[in-house]
Amino acid sequence: MRGIARAFRESLAKGRAAVIGFLTAGDPRPEYTLRYAEALVEGGVDILELGVPFSDPVADGVTIQASAQRALAAGMRLSDALKLSSEIKRSCQAPIVILSYLNPIFRMGYRRFFEEASSHGVDGVVVPDLPVEESAEFKEMAQSLGLATIFLASPTTSEARLDRVLKASTGFVYLVSLLGVTGVRREVSQEALKLLERVKARRERPYAAVGFGVSAPEHVAMLAKAGAEGVIVGSALVKIVEENLDDLEGCAQRLRSFASSLKGAARF
Amino acid sequence: MSRVYSFPDPAGRFGPYGGRFVPETLVEPLRELEEAYFRLREDEGFREELNALLRDYAGRPTPLYYASRLTERLGGAKIYLKREDLAFTGAHKINNTLGQALLAKRMGKRRLVAETGAGQHGVATATVAALMGFECTVYMGAEDMERQAINVYRMRLLGAEVRRVEAGSRTLKDAINEALRDWATNVRDTHYLLGSAVGPHPYPLIVRDFQSVIGLEIRRQIMEREGRLPDVVVACVGGGSNAIGTFYPFIEDSEVRLVGVEAGGEGLETERHAASLVRGSPGILHGAYSYVLQDEHGQISATHSVSAGLDYPGVGPEHAYLKESGRAEYVAVEDRDALEAFITLTRLEGIMPALEPAHALAHVMKIAPAMRRDEIILLTLSGRGEKDLEIVRRALGGAF
């Protein structure tokens, strides 16, 4: 959890937003993910978000759905993704956030999940289908083991609930930039800027990172200029993986250079 | 069980089951839906409008039919059929779609999105959309579109757009995923008209309430005919909407046995079935904590049933509670027994049931012979079989 705060502080000190890069663990093969993660960090990603594939990812668009299917077919499961985290941590400096739908975590058991996550060096957790109202036990256990709980806020989140979401979020808060699911988009929606403004108007709040549809250096530049302290890029990276399934090194190369263009664009 | 039954609680829980496990974007819309529903269910005008539609448009009350030849053949308990197959559009689904469409209209929505398995809910949604002037999109698994092609055509004739879902097992589960994604994208002007007693709070409550007209009519009709309540009430369970609508008005009558029948597919010892309550375990799917078919890693299992409407790895959270509390019991019936029951009812009573309630009927055929002649079994015949004729024809080969 401290790793997340440090990553934000360091990028802010350099006058830019933190770049958070998403990969589906095990897509297309478990042994590729470490190489991809290294490439992203070499390119300039500050925080890695490692997605655990799930059979029914209702918050995701077609790109990440297909990615999850490939990873599941390759045998990746929650416990494997946690093990993968410690390999990545040994090799890269970046903090790791695990993104998983609730059922695999529930099935493993909250306690065992957080203990394993903690022992594998995971810094924080995002669960896209766990709203704050249902999260009491989850949050308590995460905190007792020192993991950040990153909740999402969306354009439909009311003022009263936004307060709860910000209070419950440690590390950073994940601002959903649009109505809908993850996926590559042509531009940043006005909804994103409005939500960012609402969050930044609060005095006490975690760092604000914007995700969903953030797919190009221009999007990153626009959000950084609008005051986002972090940007989360997922589908655009997964698309690079999808387009280079049989070419590990070529894919790593493209991920690295794309990450570096994102970082370059993240200046305030 | 004589105490007052008051679930769901304010958090949308039936005991531990239920809740609201959805992406953040949907939390506020669900709260608004809950508020609107709580307000409107007390609203005299709303209730009158719905009751008039149920009577004049949907053809309610549906008859309660004493199946004398079936009873005679089985030689045990008297068997009554609640004829939801005679409700407009051919199944109980219309009860819920009329209610929710009125609700959506009062909430100012202009578009309906729905999922469908067998196509009965899709048809019922497309029907109310035509009636009330909504734009309508129905998601349907590719496999279901093939096996229920007639219903796809009906929906399109009614003006609905039917979108094919190729993801996952290409059935009801995947159609619900897509409908949820659509709703999150278009939430400001769209109502998600969920057709089963599943999903996040308040859907299991809303669907149960709108479907309870089934059980309420049964109570009145059986009291008129027999002067007492049935001994056993049986209904099929996929997501569980016709079953919960049938059971709910009897929950406090502890002398009435409630039996839900799930799809046993090719057998519970195989992996090709859809018996979530009989063989599943607690988990989270489609916004609710309930029983689900899943592997040891929490991945949702592929299911199989000859009946598209029962082919679903989850089940409504209230059924999970009724199972655990022991108030209702759940069993599974295999494809071939359901097909045999279909033929039996067709030949003995001239009634072709949908394959979904044919599962419940197969269970009735198992238990009736061992019961006394003065005992009463009530079976909800949730829909008619026309949509399934092609499946039946293929399954029976050249037998007819």
Residue A137 belongs to a domain with what CATH number? Answer: 3.20.20.70
Q: Pairing state of beta strands B288-292 and B281-285?
A: antiparallel
Asked if the ipTM is above 0.85, the reply is yes
Question: Which residue in B78, B82, B84, B93 is the catalytic one?
Answer: B93
Give the residue on B whose Cα is nearest the Cα of A179: B185
Q: Which two tokens stand for residue B313?
A: 């790895």
Say yes or no for a CB contact (<8 Å) between B23 and A59: yes
Give the residues of chain B that fall short of pLDDT 50.
1-2
Looking at the complex, report in whole angstroms how far the Cα of residue A134 sits from the nearest Cα belonging to chain B: 7
Q: Which two tokens stand for residue B65?
A: 């039919």
Looking at the complex, report in whole angstroms how far the Cα of residue B307 sits from the nearest Cα belonging to chain A: 22
- Chain A residues with CB inside 8 Å of B174's CB? 56
Is B189 part of the contact surface with chain A (CB cutoff 8 Å)? Answer: no
Give the residue on B whose Cα is nearest the Cα of A130: B21
DSSP assignments along chain A, one per residue: -HHHHHHHHHHHHTTBPEEEEEEETTSS-HHHHHHHHHHHHHHT-SEEEEEPP-S--TT--HHHHHHHHHHHHTT--HHHHHHHHHHHHHH--S-EEEE--HHHHHHH-HHHHHHHHHHTT--EEE-TT--GGG-HHHHHHHHHTT-EEE-EE-TT--HHHHHHHHHH--SEEEEE-SSS-----SS--HHHHHHHHHHHT-SS--EEEEESS--SHHHHHHHHHTT-SEEEE-HHHHHHHHHTTT-HHHHHHHHHHHHHHHHHHTB-
Confidence band for A1, pLDDT divided at 50, 70 and 90: low
Q: Would you give the end-to-end CA distance of chain B in angstroms?
A: 48
Spatial strand order of the sheet with A230-233 comes to A148-150, A124-126, A96-99, A47-51, A18-24, A230-233, A207-211, A172-176, A152-153
Please, what's the largest Cα pairwise distance for chain A?
48
- Chain A residues with CB inside 8 Å of B11's CB? 133
Say yes or no for a CB contact (<8 Å) between B23 and A77: no
* pLDDT of the residue at B169: 86
Rounded to a whole number of angstroms, the CA Rg of chain A reads 17
Q: Which two tokens stand for residue A142?
A: 């995460």
Shortest CB distance from A180 goes to which of B168, B185, B286? B185
- Chain B residues with CB inside 8 Å of A77's CB? 297, 299
Between A and B, how many CB-CB pairs are < 8 A? Answer: 112
* pLDDT of the residue at B396: 85
Shortest CB distance from A181 goes to which of B181, B285, B299? B181
DSSP assignments along B77-124, one per residue: SEEEEEEGGGSGGGBTHHHHHHHHHHHHHHTT--EEEEEESSSHHHHH
Say yes or no for a CB contact (<8 Å) between B23 and A154: yes
- Chain A residues with CB inside 8 Å of B298's CB? 54, 78, 103-108
In this structure, chain A runs to a length of 268
Instruction: Report cis status (omega within 30 of 0) of the bond before B313.
Output: no
Is A190 part of the contact surface with chain B (CB cutoff 8 Å)? Answer: no
pTM, entire model: 0.97
Say yes or no for a CB contact (<8 Å) between A59 and B184: yes
Looking at the complex, report in whole angstroms how far the Cα of residue B78 sits from the nearest Cα belonging to chain A: 44
* pLDDT of the residue at B2: 47
Is B285 part of the contact surface with chain A (CB cutoff 8 Å)? Answer: yes
Say yes or no for a CB contact (<8 Å) between A157 and B24: yes
* pLDDT of the residue at B1: 42
Say yes or no for a CB contact (<8 Å) between A152 and B24: yes
Is B16 part of the contact surface with chain A (CB cutoff 8 Å)? Answer: no
The closest of B164, B157, B172 to B127, measured between CA atoms, is: B157
Mean pLDDT, residues A231-240:
98
Shortest CB distance from B185 goes to which of A131, A161, A179? A179
What are the pLDDT digits (tens) for A150-193? 999 999 999 999 999 999 999 999 999 999 999 999 999 999 99
The closest of B300, B179, B26, B166 to A54, measured between CA atoms, is: B300
Looking at the complex, report in whole angstroms how far the Cα of residue A234 sits from the nearest Cα belonging to chain B: 17
Is B186 part of the contact surface with chain A (CB cutoff 8 Å)? Answer: yes
Q: What is the rounded distance in angstroms from the CA atom of residue B213 to the CA atom of residue A232?
A: 49
Looking at the complex, report in whole angstroms how far the Cα of residue A260 sits from the nearest Cα belonging to chain B: 31
Q: What is the rounded distance in angstroms from the CA atom of residue B204 to the CA atom of residue B58?
A: 22
What are the pLDDT digits (tens) for B2-27? 468 999 999 999 999 999 999 999 99
Is B202 part of the contact surface with chain A (CB cutoff 8 Å)? Answer: no
Q: What percent of chain A has pLDDT over 90?
A: 99
Q: How many domains does chain A have?
A: 1
Q: Which domain holds residue A107?
A: 2-265
Is B185 part of the contact surface with chain A (CB cutoff 8 Å)? Answer: yes
DSSP assignments along B162-177, one per residue: EEEE-STTSSHHHHHH
A212 burial type by CB count under 10 A (0-12 exposed, 13-18 middle, 19+ buried): buried
Is the distance from CB of B136 to CB of B112 less than 8 angstroms? yes
Say yes or no for a CB contact (<8 Å) between A134 and B292: no
Say yes or no for a CB contact (<8 Å) between A154 and B24: yes
Say yes or no for a CB contact (<8 Å) between A56 and B181: no
